[in-house]
Amino acid sequence: MNDNSGARRARDTATAIGVLRQRFGDRLQTGEAIRQQHGHTLTWIPNQPPDAVIFVELASEVVDIVRVARQYRVPVIPFGAGTSLEGHVNAAEGGLSLDFSRMNKIVAVNERDLDCVVEPGVSRKQLNDYLRDRGLFFPVDPGAEWATIGGMAATRASGTNAVRYGTMRENVLNVTAVLADGSTIKTGQRARKSSAGYDLTRLLVGSEGTLGVFTELTVRVYGIPERIMAAVCPFKTIEGACNAVIQSIQLGLGIARMELLDAVQIKAVNGHSKLGLDEAPTLFLEFHGTDISARDQVAVFKDLAEAEGAIRFDWAEREEDRNRLWKARHDAYWAVKSTWPGRVVFATDVCVPISRLAECVLETEQDIKELGIVAPIVGHVGDGNFHTSPAFDPANGVEVAAVKTFVKRLTERAIRMEGTCTGEHGIGQGKAGYMAAEHGPAIAVMRSIKAALDPDDILNPGKIFPL
Ligand SMILES: Cc1cc2nc3c(=O)[nH]c(=O)nc-3n(C[C@H](O)[C@H](O)[C@H](O)COP(=O)(O)OP(=O)(O)OC[C@H]3O[C@@H](n4cnc5c(N)ncnc54)[C@H](O)[C@@H]3O)c2cc1C
């Protein structure tokens, strides 16, 4: 950008903010702290605050903002709860952050069809608190319980339950979205399946705010199972734990949650959540079904886990014990932060075909040792998906270089094993550099879609595509 275009952009942004301020009053804010809060914080990527934050309340307001933004070519960055991990909400080129926290109505629950309609700012905790009394739940559970359904759909999020219930890809039935030209589309009906034309729902889910801004979403919900049994199962080796997972997937056991924590992560969880677990590679498991089917799954899993070196099973059948266990699992990131205070911690994820899981985890563990870094492993291994959370001192050049090498090798390893550079966190800014290695010429097709839908590149620019 030369000085002239920079100055023009600053002028256009100021004009757009002036126009929108008339309409939104103090719902449009430009204070330093609020702008910083809407740039990114949960990552190693520097914070890039927007020029203004607007707290939207109605879909029609989103339409009006996008129209003004288009007129003045000002970026629009949708913001749910800001829990994404790859710099997704950074305002790479400045612009307007659209905060959805006030668009948080649960519009309808269709109990007989097992779906519900929500505004994008509804958090997954809010939705589940609402559904519980009806005997229903929404299964997709990224660790951050305040993550919003809009943000989760935009990152194609998943979590511990995905192995049984799928990710946002499977659980969003349709979205209503405002496109870059200010028009509004609804991508489908409530029918469970459809072969009517291109699947725009699947196109927009995972588009990270770059193709459209969601103003309403219909998602699937499920009956709370009759029987839920949770267990903690430490293993002699991490390979044994991975092999038990691979076999139970290949057998089609249908376990609802299968989470691996390596010994380093368990140590951090023990310190943070006071669980007193053995410091060994451990699976956290959950079995859903009727009383008989859940117990059957447990029996089969126990046999194959023992053959792979399981040390023992500790059961958590009471709801409060299960909740404590899963809270500790979801707090894994904060456990790393509190175990290595003052260090930058960032979570990075990859996903491989399940048959390559043990190999990928073992190579990664070896790499961590060779590079001499701290990077606990934790993951939704039932999907072949795992995370590491490197903790490092940003002022120490040697540590920074080692962590960069580690992430590069981890990502390239996953792609080499026919996996992906991210199973659930998304691309944002942090993984854009790996898109070419993973997608090759398919990136050109993605760029054409972006150019067709957003020719002026106003929707969350600087994300997904390598610069
Ligand atoms: C402790 C911790 C654990 C985590 N564990 C997991 C995990 O297990 N699995 C997982 O998948 N993720 C996990 N995450 C990442 C994060 O929670 C998810 O990426 C989540 O989907 C982001 O939701 P959000 O509401 O915070 O979205 P934001 O961070 O606000 O936004 C994310 C993206 O969505 C876009 N967006 C937001 N709202 C809209 C909208 N209305 N329309 C269009 N685009 C929109 C934004 O522009 C941005 O590109 C974790 C994060 C933390 C902090």
Q: What is the 3-state secondary structure (H, E, C) of 300-347?
A: HHHHHHHHCCECCCEEECCHHHHHHHHHHHHCHHHHHHHHCCCCEECC
CATH tag for 227-416 (out of 3.20.130.10, 3.30.930.10, 3.40.462.10, 3.30.70.360): 3.40.462.10
Residue with tokens 């920074």: 400
Domain range summary for the chain, segments of one domain joined by +: 3-101, 106-223, 227-416
In tens, the pLDDT along 144-178 reads: 999 999 999 999 999 999 999 999 999 999 999 99
Does the pLDDT at position 184 exceed 90?
yes
Q: What angle do CA 383, 385, 386 make, to 5 degrees?
A: 140
Longest dimension (CA), the chain: 71
In tens, the pLDDT along 185-219 reads: 999 999 999 999 999 999 999 999 999 999 999 99
Q: How far is the CA of 290 from the centre of ligand 1 (A)?
A: 33
Band of pLDDT at residue 115, cut at 50, 70 and 90? very high
Instruction: Name residues whose C-beta falls within 8 Å of residue 396's C-beta, 6 or more positions apart in sequence.
Output: none
Q: Whose CA is nearest to atom 11 of ligand 1?
A: 157
422 CB less than 6 Å from ligand 1? no
3-state SS string for 242-307? HHHHHHHHHCCCCCCEEEEECHHHHHHHHHHHCCCCCCCCEEEEEEEECHHHHHHHHHHHHHHHHH
213 CB less than 6 Å from ligand 1? yes
Does the pLDDT at position 12 exceed 70?
yes
Q: Which two tokens stand for residue 209?
A: 């705010």
Does the pLDDT at position 119 exceed 60?
yes
Q: Give the pLDDT score at 41.
A: 75
Pocket test for ligand 1, best of 145, 155, 350 (most atoms within 8 A of CB): 155
333 CB less than 6 Å from ligand 1? yes
Q: Give the pLDDT score at 319.
A: 86
124 CB less than 6 Å from ligand 1? no
Does the pLDDT at position 43 exceed 90?
no
DSSP one-letter code for 47: P
143 CB less than 6 Å from ligand 1? yes
When pLDDT is averaged across residues 382-392 and rounded to a whole number, the result is 95
Q: Give the pLDDT score at 243.
A: 94
75 CB less than 6 Å from ligand 1? no
Band of pLDDT at residue 317, cut at 50, 70 and 90? confident
Q: Give the pLDDT score at 3.
A: 54
| CATH 3.40.50.720 is the classification of domain 106-223 | no
When pLDDT is averaged across residues 357-385 and rounded to a whole number, the result is 96
Q: How far is the CA of 301 from the centre of ligand 1 (A)?
A: 33
Residue 62: name the closest of 209, 199, 187 by CA: 209
> 3-101 with 227-416: one CATH topology?
no
Q: Give the pLDDT score at 204.
A: 98
Q: Give the pLDDT score at 4.
A: 66
| Average pLDDT taken over every residue of the chain | 95
End-to-end CA distance of the chain: 13
Does the pLDDT at position 85 exceed 70?
yes
CATH tag for 3-101 (out of 3.90.1150.10, 3.40.50.720, 1.10.287.3510, 3.30.43.10): 3.30.43.10
Lowest-pLDDT range of 132-141, 297-306, 318-327, 356-365:
318-327
Q: How far is the CA of 304 from the centre of ligand 1 (A)?
A: 35
- Percent residues over pLDDT 70 in the chain: 99
